[in-house]
Structure 1
Amino acid sequence: MSSCCDKSCPSRMVNSSHLSQEDTGVESGDSICPDGNVDNNVGEESQGENTRDPENQLSDGDFEALSKNDQGWRKIVRNFTPSWFTVNMGTGIVSILLFNLPYNGVWLYWISVVIFGLNTILFSTFLTISILRYTLWPEIWGVMLKHQVQSLFIGTFPMGFSTIVSMISLVCSPVWGNWVQIVTWALWIVDSVISLACAVGFPFMLMIPGRQTDLPSMTAVWLLPVVSTIVAASTGAVVADYLPTPQLSLWTIIASYILWGLGILFSMIILAVYFKRLALYKLPPKAMIVSTCIPLGPMGQGGFVILKLGVDAKKFFPLNNTLDATAGDVFYAVGFMIALILWGFGLLWMLSAIISIAQCKRIPFSMGWWASIFPLGVYANCTILMAKEMPSQFFKVLGTILSLCVLILWIIVSAGTIREVITGRVFFAPCLSDLRVQRKKRLGIKAN
């Protein structure tokens, strides 16, 4: 089963004292990256390095520089990968769900506000560390973009930021007035531009010369840059409700429809390729099995967006004399129909993910676990909105149950992450191995 994973990801060896081969689904000599990727070539690379001509080996000064960067705060900053922003995605969707719960109360509202504050602090911290990383070591940026897996996690940055912008609209705009609404709108524009850049740049990242991409190495992580536009559209649908003028709301709604169309159709293309990969090469190994939850994201978020935009169109189209007088009602009805279809398609992916994960006896913890929280969360959020618009007691109860499952999963993954942060094992960037290889080759050429 290890043949189904990405063979190009440099990584550390699996600690046999913690995981057996049966636990990880990884054959002897394989290794696991913190994001869940498996590498079969580590043994060969190590052997190649050991047999390198002594004249091409790093000098004592070079080894001293490398060891210095692997200690203290430098180790944390250098190994701080974009996948950390999945923490913001998971934490942010939990705060949104607690805010939107059908069976709500004042105490749940304040818990959602506290989690929103925590998410804002985490995002600010992660952003600061990321800026330091690429400022102190600018060469890492290029290596990261060329990495087959790490580059795809760039899409988690705008998605994590979107959850914060949404909560600012829901919590702060009604209380602090117009100036917050304008600031929120500006933040949404910035987020949308970044999301659009991620989605449009994704095909070109796959086409970078020297970057080999084959079907067996494909994972659902391919969806991350594309889904960011759908998430930005959902934030736009929320922000439009609180803008000071109907004209601004209309522009935001139209832009959100465009972002939704780009993201949802592109996601369908990727899902078709992903299903072919599953059919031909079977399920990913245990180390990556959690990634089977990711396809639920575009379905749940896509359904929420098209339904919420329909609600907004019904409200703001008549105020702006947009199209026909009944255009808003048509957009609303069609939006609900599409949302219901996407919700049903998402149910298929959710059940598939549950069955895939259930057949694994033990799954090694990694930062990739965070990628499972957001897809389930947006699916629950779509269910809650459908329950509100029908209205339906069934969807209301189901949305509450799904939200509680997301909350429990968030607590479990948070506890695991805190444990890994304390031990320091979570601070490992697979792309840095590529940088070391490049540096050794460069120094070897000079030595000759």
Structure 2
Amino acid sequence: MNKDGMPPVSFKQRIQHFTWAWFTLPMSTGGLALLLHNTPHQFPGLFTIGTIVYILDLVVFVVACGAILTRFILVPESLTASLLHPTESLFFPTWWLALVTILNGAQLYGYLDSPWLPDALFVMFWIYIACTFIMAVVMYWNLFAAPPTRLTMQGMTPAWILPVFPIMLTGTFAGTIASVLAPGRHITVLLAGITFQGLGWMISFLMYAMLFQRLMLYGLPPPNLRPGLFMAVGPPSFTGLALLSLARGIQPNGYFKAHPDSIPTLQYLADFIAVFLWALSFWFWCIALVSVLHTCRRMTFHLVWWAFVFPNIGFSLITIQIGLVFESESIQWVASAMTVIVVIVWLVVLGFNVRAVIRKEIMMPGMDEDKGGLPEFR
């Protein structure tokens, strides 16, 4: 027995509970590197800090991949179980979200004097689209085809949006790399970006209807799940961000050379639609914040706490871009303050994450997203 009176838990038992939800950590860390690069009030050394955070993200991602691969090697059947589990499977898309933040960061921190980098990102862009679109179809089909006892309206959380989130971020990925691509590739990337950003946004909007129904009929989720409400901040934020970046990434060739007046028209539309979407994000942010503050003393750490970070990175980024588009110094200072807050929150959540591992509050039997899955092993 341990000092706390509990039976000892082996490494094999703990690694069995290294779930897909752990990729919310590199997902948020990579997003933080993007935010530091884009924050409006730069100072000497900030690019270096951002580079360090980006490298840290790469390290964390590789370690997380190694840990979950170890789990699947030790217990091969846990791979299938993780992808079919009604809760853990919803976090499989965070692997792809962590990957796309790395790809976006490669454009910003990868030193574009490397002639091969734009070509590599172009190839990865299409691979990413193919994989995440297939994932969005298969995961939702699996949820639709599953017995109705697996997911219920009372148990609905914003995590139901996650299967479509990676393909939705195609828009921000396209906006990041479009400016460095050749004209022939540029237009296809822009069209793919707006196509799949639209797909992700429309499915997310349908999920919002179910979220409203769940909240109206059953009230707020339990205290430990309330940080997940911040996930609802992400889709409108990243969609507005994608619209702004894609509209300003248009080059006057092909269709846009034949219709030059469409370029400023699309940019004006993107500007004001982004403001509409920002307002929706802000409303969700307020609801999530009040819900968390109302019950924060009863909350214990779970990996869903990283929802405090990643969606709010998108919220901060769209605020930054709106401030730049409308040339508002006040909005840019608000965005800078938001960046500082996100950095502080990232540090706090990281501290609680490490503390939870040390105190055996996560990566333990019956305490993670795979609860109720495979039987324990030694």
Checking the alignment, whether the CA contact within 8 Å between 1:161 and 1:191 is kept in structure 2 is no
Report matched runs for 1:219-368 at 5 Å.
Answer: 219-243=157-181, 245-313=182-250, 316=251, 318-322=252-256, 323-362=258-297, 363-368=299-304
Checking the alignment, whether the CA contact within 8 Å between 1:146 and 1:208 is kept in structure 2 is no
- Could you say if the C-alpha distance between residues 430 and 169 of structure 1 is closer, same or farther in structure 2, counting changes exceeding 3 Å? closer
Checking the alignment, whether the CA contact within 8 Å between 1:173 and 1:181 is kept in structure 2 is no
* Alignment-derived partner of residue 117 in structure 1: 55
Count matched residues. Answer: 367
What code does the residue aligned with 1:360 have? T
**Equivalent pairs: percent with the same residue?**
23
Shift of 1:211: 5.4
**TM-score, length basis structure 1:** 0.78
Checking the alignment, whether the CA contact within 8 Å between 2:140 and 2:163 is kept in structure 1 is no
Shift of 1:231: 1.8
Shift of 1:334: 1.6
* Alignment-derived partner of residue 35 in structure 2: 97
* 2:370 matches 1:431: yes
Checking the alignment, whether the CA contact within 8 Å between 1:384 and 1:395 is kept in structure 2 is yes
Shift of 1:241: 1.6
- Could you say if the C-alpha distance between residues 78 and 168 of structure 1 is closer, same or farther in structure 2, counting changes exceeding 3 Å? same
Alpha-carbon distance in 2 for matches of 1:200, 1:173: 35
Shift of 1:434: 2.4
Checking the alignment, whether the CA contact within 8 Å between 2:156 and 2:214 is kept in structure 1 is yes
| Matching residue within 109, 114, 127 for 1:177 | 114
What code does the residue aligned with 1:353 have? A
Alpha-carbon distance in 1 for matches of 2:32, 2:371: 32
Shift of 1:379: 0.6
User: Cα RMSD (Å) of the superposition?
Assistant: 2.2
Unmatched tracts of structure 2, length 5 or more: none
Unmatched tracts of structure 1, length 5 or more: 1-14, 16-66, 440-448
Shift of 1:370: 0.7
* Alignment-derived partner of residue 87 in structure 1: 25
* Alignment-derived partner of residue 49 in structure 1: none
Matched residue SS, 2:300:
coil
- Could you say if the C-alpha distance between residues 132 and 190 of structure 1 is closer, same or farther in structure 2, counting changes exceeding 3 Å? farther
* Alignment-derived partner of residue 3 in structure 1: none
Matched residue SS, 2:327:
coil
Matched residue SS, 2:249:
helix
State the structure with more CA Rg: 1
What code does the residue aligned with 2:284 have? W
Alpha-carbon distance in 1 for matches of 2:335, 2:135: 30
What code does the residue aligned with 2:34 have? I
Alpha-carbon distance in 2 for matches of 1:398, 1:201: 40
Alpha-carbon distance in 2 for matches of 1:404, 1:325: 40
* 2:136 matches 1:199: yes
Alpha-carbon distance in 2 for matches of 1:283, 1:350: 15
* 2:87 matches 1:149: yes
* Alignment-derived partner of residue 187 in structure 1: 124
Matched residue SS, 1:360:
helix
What code does the residue aligned with 1:408 have? I
Checking the alignment, whether the CA contact within 8 Å between 1:380 and 1:403 is kept in structure 2 is yes
Matched residue SS, 1:400:
helix
Worse-superposed segment, 107-116 or 220-229 = 220-229
Report matched runs for 1:395-434 at 5 Å.
Answer: 395-428=331-364, 429-431=368-370, 433-434=372-373
**TM-score, length basis structure 2:** 0.91
Report matched runs for 1:365-384 at 5 Å.
Answer: 365-384=301-320
Alpha-carbon distance in 2 for matches of 1:125, 1:190: 23
Worse-superposed segment, 197-206 or 149-158 = 197-206
Alpha-carbon distance in 1 for matches of 2:337, 2:124: 32
Checking the alignment, whether the CA contact within 8 Å between 1:154 and 1:198 is kept in structure 2 is no
